[in-house]
Amino acid sequence: MLELVIFSTLNGVVYGLLLFMLSSGLTLIFSMMGVLNFAHASMFMLGAYFSYQVGKLVGFWPALVLAPLLVGLIGAGVERYGLRHVHRHGHVPELLFTFGLAYLIEEIVVMGWGRNPIENRVPATLDFPLFTLFTTSYPAYKAFMMAVSIGMFVALYLVLKRTRIGLIIQAALTHPSTVAMLGHNVPQVFMRVFAAGTALAALAGVIGGFALLTTPNMAAALGPIVFVVVVIGGLGSLGGALIASLAIGIMQTFAVALDVSLLDLLRHAGVAIGRESALFELASIKIAQAAPMIPYVLLVLMLIVRPKGLLGTRET
Amino acid sequence: MRRHVLRSLVLGVLAPAAIASTAQAQGTLKIAMIEPLSGGAASAGILSQKHFGYFVDKINAAGGVNGQKIEVLFFDNKISPQESLIILKKVIDEGIRYVSQGVGSVVAHAITDAVLKHNERNPGKEVIYLNYAAVDPALTNEKCNFWHFRFDADADMKMEALTNYLAKAKGLKKVYLINQDYSFGKAVAVAARAMLTKKRPDIEIVGDELHPLQKVTDFSPYVAKIKASGADSVITGNWSNDMLLLIKPGKDAGLKVDWYTYYAGTLGSPTAIGRDGVGHVKQVTEWHKNALPEADPDQIAYEKRFTGKEDDFAYWRLKTMFEMLVETMKKAKSNDPVKVAKALEGMKYKTVLGDVEMRADNHQLLQPLFISTMSDKVKYDVERTGLGFVTNGKIEAKDTATPTTCKMDRPK
């Protein structure tokens, strides 16, 4: 039991941190442009594919840096030559633009690498059990994932809160015209933040690519949950995104381990629902089966109770 | 539909051979293949598409059947039952009388119901439904009908074969069931539990998990649970991403179990599983590349035509299906669906793997089944991994039959 609890916690934290890496970039972009970037998870996917391709040429470690840089450049291009033009026409065209971009990227990936998962293996230097507790071993690459995402959080936090660049970004988010008046190139700030956000997603992709599975639908699989994290955490809030990702990661992991249904709980409370009851089917669903639904239930509850999210500062 | 057309164009540019005869000539025998060609399950649909293209071209090269060439039209249903019904309606309106589908039992249920309804209401315009992969047992039991023919062994038949093998396996104490939460996955779980309790009452079933279909991105929590249960073997009907994602975290956590699977041999699974599966990953199938000492001519010709890493010849049952179809049409001297359906019912046919028979009582094909294990010492590998499967046991066609509750109305 203890073994299950410990490893479920570890798995939940790793999954949560991966979600955080994805959502941190999204939440920055969201608060900056006020638009959900539907192609954000696609950048995550590109990161995975690029690192695989670059890694074949120069090895994993250079790819860990190069792939996010490449995707960051693509992100900059998307903002400079795409979004910036669409921006003039309002939010809906922007939304549609990123939506279309997500489709486009998926099709390009299919054309380039095929529809089946590619053989994106854990790099040899990370492919060993770090430690074995009881009987379960814990792979080193998961610890590496943790280290990278925590490092990223700290670095991002320091840049945003402790440097001049961070000051300008923060100011540009809320008072773009004033910042422009002071002589800063606000569109360029936007472009850089967008590029940085996509690069962060790509970094998550490099790590998530081999930890999960590199397929053309990995973007579609993770996309929705990242939005949930951003909304629950509060738009534009890094800390909120971190808390929300960890909470969702851990909650989902533990829910899977719970083979309890509403029926069992009611039985303990002395209420019996018969097989003939209309509620029987519903009540006999185990928590484990409902696990993937939990984040979305949370999302709905959050929007009802506290629309600005955990640490958000403005109403959606 | 627009998206499908676009995709066909793209595919057409990349691999003209992948799209079967595009001849719009009058008088071709049209077969509609309704499968996911986009989205998460697309890899399965596209693999079928290539097999269809290959076999139809082969038949046409030999002069077609009864003087008619065959033409396959591919429709993308995005694995949605609703979309499939819209497509089916369109297909019927165009006068196409042969429909084939296999990916997803949920879709199969929708199609078989709609085909039955149409045929009852439109005598003289009957449609045949050729199912080559949807293996929910209900389709040839309580939901059976005269127009549905299944060329893949159903989930119960495969489980029967698997549990017969398990009944003799040594060192097996605790079994964990993990399946997808929909009709097929549930059928696998129910069959596994019922048959194991009967054949090996000493085996303990330590888990019976249903997880969402093609939605889980990280199976680590499930693996931790399997680990905690102390299982030494896992039975799963998972396919596509759900199959390969399941094995990977198992390897990381040091989970040492034997995997008894339905679909570990195709659609990227061998690539994702890799060497760790050697000796531990087993499957039950109607064929595998090393089932015969030498490669089948169709396997060689197919893999000469489709040369991608993912382009394995995989669907032996489609070979059987097309050969039987041509045979019945020749025997009936007609390509009329009603005559063909009547001739197909109860038909016996010889293949290089053994005798097969289309059961008259429920339209389920009886064919030999193989239990095989992943190995790195094989003559023919899959997905160019250097890994393949070696036979542990073969079950003859007649021994795969399971009782049926099917009661069907036949046309006069």
Burial A180-213 (b: 16+ CB within 10 A, else e): eeeebebeebbbbbbbbbbbbbbbbbbbbbbbbb
Phi and psi at residue A258, in whole multiples of 5°?
-95, 105
**In contact, B143 and B374? CB cutoff 8 Å:** no
Whether residue B357 is contained in a domain is answered as yes
Closest alpha carbon to B116 in B130, B105, B126, B103? B126
Alpha-helix residue ranges (DSSP H) falling in B216-311:
220-229, 241-252, 269-273, 297-305
Q: Quote the CA–CA distance of B224 and B247 in Å, as a whole number.
A: 12
User: Which residues span the domain enclosing B235?
Assistant: 156-285+368-400
CA B192 to chain centre: 19
Query: Residue A278: CB partners within 8 Å, gap ≥ 6?
Result: none
Residue B160 and residue B222 in one domain: yes
**How many domains, in total, are found in chain B?**
2
Burial B333-349 (b: 16+ CB within 10 A, else e): eebbbbebbbbbbebeb
Residue B308 and residue B350 in one domain: yes
Predicted confidence at residue B261, as pLDDT, reads 92
Closest alpha carbon to B146 in B401, B363, B364? B363
Distances in Å between the Cα of B254 and the Cα atoms of A45, A137, B36, B224 are 27, 6, 35, 10
The answer, for B40 touching chain A at a CB cutoff of 8 Å, is yes
Q: What does the pLDDT look like over B8-45, one tens digit per residue? A: 444 444 443 333 333 334 489 999 999 998 776 788 89
Please tell me the distance in Å from A245's CA to the nearest CA on chain B: 15
Q: Give the type of residue at A156.
A: L
Whether residue B292 is contained in a domain is answered as no
Please tell me the distance in Å from A128's CA to the nearest CA on chain B: 8
Q: Quote the CA–CA distance of A56 and A11 in Å, as a whole number.
A: 28
Cβ under 8 Å to B: A residues 250-289: 252-254, 256-257, 288-289
Predicted confidence at residue A314, as pLDDT, reads 62
Residue B244 and residue B147 in one domain: no
Cβ pair A213:B220 closer than 8 A: no
Residue B265 and residue B219 in one domain: yes
Residue B206 and residue B330 in one domain: no
The answer, for B9 touching chain A at a CB cutoff of 8 Å, is no
The answer, for A111 touching chain B at a CB cutoff of 8 Å, is yes
pLDDT by 10s per residue, chain A, length 316:
787 888 888 889 999 999 998 888 888 888 777 777 889 999 999 999 999 999 889 988 999 999 999 999 999 999 999 988 888 888 888 889 999 999 999 989 988 887 777 777 788 788 787 887 777 778 888 899 999 989 988 998 898 888 988 888 888 877 888 888 898 888 888 888 899 999 999 999 998 888 887 888 888 888 888 889 988 998 878 889 999 999 999 988 888 877 777 777 777 777 777 777 777 777 777 777 778 888 898 899 989 998 888 887 765 4
Which CATH fold topology does A2-305 show? ABC transporter involved in vitamin B12 uptake, BtuC (1.10.3470)
Closest alpha carbon to B258 in B159, B135, B387, B372? B372
pLDDT by 10s per residue, chain B, length 412:
444 544 444 444 444 333 333 333 448 999 999 999 877 678 889 899 999 999 999 999 998 898 899 999 999 998 889 999 999 999 999 999 999 999 988 899 999 999 999 999 998 899 999 999 999 999 999 999 999 999 999 999 999 888 888 888 888 889 999 999 888 888 899 999 999 999 888 989 998 888 888 778 788 888 888 988 889 999 999 987 788 788 878 877 888 889 999 998 888 788 878 888 888 899 999 999 898 888 899 999 999 999 887 788 989 999 999 999 999 999 888 899 999 999 999 999 999 999 999 999 999 999 999 999 999 988 888 888 888 999 998 888 888 888 999 998 888 7
Q: Quote the CA–CA distance of B284 and A187 in Å, as a whole number.
A: 59
Whether residue B75 is contained in a domain is answered as yes
Please tell me the distance in Å from A291's CA to the nearest CA on chain B: 9
Residue B374 and residue B268 in one domain: yes
Please tell me the distance in Å from A82's CA to the nearest CA on chain B: 23
Chain A, nearest residue to B7 by Cα = A107
Residue B92 and residue B133 in one domain: yes
Whether residue B387 is contained in a domain is answered as yes
Predicted confidence at residue A36, as pLDDT, reads 77
Residue B236 and residue B96 in one domain: no
Q: Quote the CA–CA distance of B369 and B286 in Å, as a whole number.
A: 4
Whether residue B409 is contained in a domain is answered as no
The answer, for A204 touching chain B at a CB cutoff of 8 Å, is no
- Residue B212: CATH number of its domain: 3.40.50.2300
Predicted confidence at residue B12, as pLDDT, reads 41
Q: What's the full length of chain A, in residues?
A: 316
Predicted confidence at residue A210, as pLDDT, reads 82
Cβ pair A117:B244 closer than 8 A: yes
Residue B162 and residue B23 in one domain: no
Whether residue B179 is contained in a domain is answered as yes
Q: Quote the CA–CA distance of A217 and A106 in Å, as a whole number.
A: 7
Structure tokens at B251: 């390897």
Cβ pair A11:B218 closer than 8 A: yes
Residue B53 and residue B146 in one domain: yes
Measured N-to-C along each axis, helices B220-229 and B241-252 cross at an angle, to the nearest 10 degrees, of: 60
In chain A, where the domains are located: 2-305
